[in-house]
Amino acid sequence: MDLRSISVASNASILQEQRKVGLAELQIIKHVLDRVSSVGCVDCWFKAEAVLPSTLPHHHHHDRAFEIIGRAMKAKKIPFMENWPICYLCWVPFNPPCSHPPHLKNHVANPEDCPHPNALPLLVNLIWHDPVKRARMEELLGAPFSPLIKFTEWMLLPLSGAQEIPRVHQLIATYYKEYRRIQN
């Protein structure tokens, strides 16, 4: 065996171990998406409110600032990530375990094709708007959450390796581990 094949094998092993860490985190995102789907409403899941199926779909009224900040977050184009590509419309990963359907080549992506339209951007906005949860996420992630421009810049920072999932998913997985695991 030559030296080159040893280094390729060891590098592949390292990459596989890193991907296992990332996949475990994405499994949390899949679980969150499944829970939100079972409740039927992102806001109600976030607030841990009971929802009667007969009341779905329904709408939560947010103030104008909430809507503006949500649009500002969505306007930031999350860059393509080689290890964890995501739908730029709904931020759901294409790869398993989330398995967003691929967009057709040479066609404009259709939001109606997204299995969880707006769920993740709305959840990020809800977390950001809760001052207690925002402060805790800032502490746990070591990231600047305010002003909003610092937060959106953090979301767009390059990832350090295959173990690191997109920052929007890091936020949601951290939120889930901190606040929801016991409740669900």
The CA distances from residue 133 to 66, 84, 138, 160, 165, in Å, are 16, 26, 8, 25, 20
pLDDT at 184: 47
Chain mean position to CA 112: 19
Distance in angstroms (rounded) separating the CA atoms of residues 16 and 86: 20
Distance in angstroms (rounded) separating the CA atoms of residues 64 and 62: 7
Convert the pLDDT of each residue in 35-76 to its tens digit: 999 988 999 999 988 777 777 778 888 888 888 888 877 766
Convert the pLDDT of each residue in 94-124 to its tens digit: 989 999 998 888 788 888 888 998 899 999 9
Contact predicate 46/128, CB 8 Å: no
pTM of the model: 0.85
